[in-house]
A = this chain, B = another copy of it.
């Protein structure tokens, strides 16, 4: 059976970093017998430019008809003044909802060679390896009612935070299972001292704990979690939380490493379908200049191989190749710390050659 991957470069540096991951994919195809074909689709600003819609029907069809999506990045200043539903971000949100990609896996891993890039002291972050499991298709991102209207003569904005027990169970299951494969510790983050939704979240996670006797469960308020991530991030193994808290905490955790140009992510639905993307954004200021770091996208391809194609063996090949080029001293500008710099394409070639 031949796998099908949809490539969505998106905006800014997106297309050029995805192109490097494709080089790696080509090596897996030609030299490691991976049977895979690719198809291209537009998303975000690029899709708006072409079709007036950041997630058009053509893209939707290609996004559904594949085993996995490799995504670059979206957004750019030229789209900032569009109505919200035309903006690149809306395309991403629409795709997450459309494909039911409810589980966002965001590892925050410190690469030993890049330890000095962190703004934290070396002993605080050395060996850091956290996984944040963020719910991605619910919560306040999608809750209704929402809008802006006059209330008693005052312009008023409103959004709804809402989670059903089924949504909480589904994401908690992902997180419990991840903790089982890792170090067996799961911290659920909420604001149960204030929010009813968080109380239900906490109760639901607690009710599931008995089914995972090998996982040690703890709970933390989101304000405390943001402190603890700064104070002593290595106390965490897996963190599970809702859409908005996950947005904030996963970016915080990523920044602890100092090298967000290195961090991949996965957004998974039922049955292995998934979307894989680097954590960094579209960086329009350096787009098209052969300056972007393609390693986060290449590591996202590794996650794709592991989670959607069930080829953990090939994922490890890719991850070792990335480790190898780092050990060789190859650095793009964002992780160079004053040393020699290679371009996006050269970095892609080097990883492909190292496999």
Q: A interface vs B, CB < 8 Å?
A: 84, 87, 89, 93, 119-121, 124, 140-141, 143, 146-148, 151, 154-166, 191, 193-201, 222-224, 226-227, 230-232, 244-245, 247-252, 254-256, 258, 260
Contact = CB atoms under 8 A, between A and B. Distances in A.
Contacts of A196: 146-148, 157-159
Given A120-B119, A155-B165, A254-B227, A89 B193 contact: yes
A146 B197 CA distance: 8
A42 to B, nearest CB: 20
B164 A161 contact: no
Output the residue of A156, A224, A245, A260 with the most chain B CB within 10 A: A156
A226 B252 contact: yes
- Count of chain copies: 2
Given A120-B119, A156-B164, A160-B160, A140 B195 contact: yes
A158 B162 contact: yes
A154 B193 CA distance: 22
B223 A251 contact: yes
Contact of A121 (B119, B164, B244): B119
19 contacts: A84-B199, A140-B140, A140-B194, A143-B158, A146-B196, A148-B199, A151-B164, A156-B165, A157-B196, A157-B198, A157-B200, A157-B201, A158-B197, A159-B197, A160-B160, A161-B161, A222-B248, A224-B251, A227-B255
Closest 3 CB pairs of A and B: A157-B200, A157-B197, A227-B255
Contact of A251 (B147, B160, B226, B247): B226
A141 B194 contact: yes
Contacts of A140: 140, 161, 194-195
